[in-house]
Amino acid sequence: MGLFGGQTRVEPRVEPSTIVDKEEEQREELPSLPKPRPNTVITKGVTVSGAIRGEGVVQVEGNVEGEIAVSGSVIVTSTGTIQGPVSADVVRISGHVVGDIMARSHLRLEKTGNVEGDVTTPSMVLEDGSRLNGRSTMIREEAVPAPAQPEGPALDNLQFGPNYKVGEEAEEEES
| 107 assigned to some structural domain | yes
- pTM of the predicted structure, to 2 decimals: 0.62
| 118 assigned to some structural domain | yes
| 165 assigned to some structural domain | no
Beta strands, E only, the chain: 39-42, 47-49, 52-60, 63-65, 68-76, 81-83, 86-93, 96-98, 101-109, 114-116, 119-121, 124-126, 131-133, 136-138
**What is the tally of structural domains in the chain?**
1
The domain of 127 spans 39-140
pLDDT in tens, the chain (175 residues): 555 666 666 666 655 555 555 555 555 555 565 555 568 899 999 999 999 999 999 999 999 999 999 999 999 999 999 999 999 999 999 999 999 999 999 999 999 999 999 999 999 999 999 999 999 999 887 655 555 555 544 445 544 455 555 554 444 544 4
| 149 assigned to some structural domain | no
